[in-house]
Amino acid sequence: MSFISSTQAIPEARTVPQHVAIIMDGNGRWATKRLLPRTAGHAKGVQSVRKVVQAAAKHGVKYLTLFAFSSENWRRPQEEVSLLMRLFMQALDREVAQLKNQGVRLRVIGDRSQFDVKLQNMMSKAEAATEANEAFHLTIAANYGGRWDILNATRRMLAQNPQLCHQPDQINEQEFAQYLSMAWAPEPDLFIRTGGEQRISNFLIWQLTYTELFFTEQYWPDFGEAALLDAFAWYRGRERRFGRTSAQVKIKTTV
Ligand code: FPP
């Protein structure tokens, strides 16, 4: 199944966002502030991932997408990159059985070919183990970049439809979006970035076009259920217009 873009159809107004996308920033600073190695911040960050997954599911979110490792993160010191890879493997090893029993479908988006083969296999196994689940969709963006996603979609679309090279006017947003790595999900309603920076940093750049953007100073290891509920309260106060006027939105929220 693929969803119609918010530029084609306006999603129904909801009090709880259906899809939340998060940039989990501030792990390093959380640790440095405590005179700990940056890697301790990432280990603590895994605990926040667990808390936020549980809280999001409990409060009615259906899709949670977490930016765990960007295509730019390879530039970090080698030992920090290795620790992050170990944390992914440990998390997959420890959590998948429970996610499976809780009805969570886990997917990994991004260019996985750069990862260790063992980690690639663990990702594929985790996806296969949870593929029948539908209650909650947890997506981890790993070696992901929004520009990579758009380029990759373009390549796949043209490889499968070579005639489009000679008929570029046949390509429309809806058709194209089917080749993006999250074609099966509605676009995010709420984007959260912790750690004080106000950037999208090459996350889901196509899909975030109409998303409400929430930035908090809190570091990711300090983020949990209470902070998530604060973000939802802020979200409820937003008026999502999708290009319409305020008066139009007040008369009818789903056109
Ligand atoms: C940003 O903090 C965080 C990361 C680059 C990695 C996020 C990874 C985790 C939370 C752990 C693994 C996740 C899963 C899904 C098992 P930063 O290091 O950029 O912090 P800083 O801006 O303070 O330096």
In the prediction, which pLDDT does 247 show? 76
Give pLDDT tens digits along the chain (255 positions).
556 666 666 666 678 999 999 999 999 999 999 999 999 999 999 999 999 999 999 999 999 999 999 888 999 999 999 999 999 999 999 999 999 999 999 999 999 999 999 999 999 999 999 999 999 999 999 999 999 999 999 999 999 999 999 999 999 999 999 999 999 999 999 999 999 999 999 999 999 999 999 999 999 999 999 999 999 999 999 877 667 777 777 665 443
Q: Is the CB of 140 under 6 A from ligand 1?
A: yes
Pairwise CA distance, residues 123 & 107, whole Å: 8
Backbone angles phi, psi at 201, to 5 degrees: 50, 45
User: Model pTM greater than 0.85?
Assistant: yes
Ligand 1 atom showing the smallest separation from residue 30 Cα: 23
Computed over its alpha carbons, how large is the radius of gyration of the chain?
19
Domain ranges of the chain: 19-145+186-254
Backbone angles phi, psi at 13, to 5 degrees: -70, 135
In the prediction, which pLDDT does 2 show? 53
Helix (H, G, I), strand (E, B) or coil at 227: helix
> Which has the closest alpha carbon to 187: 160, 205, 169?
205
Residue 70 is classified by DSSP as E
Q: What is the CA(176)–ligand 1 centre distance, in A?
A: 31
Q: Catalytic annotation on 25?
A: yes
Pairwise CA distance, residues 255 & 247, whole Å: 13
* Architecture in CATH of 19-145+186-254: 3-Layer(aba) Sandwich (3.40)
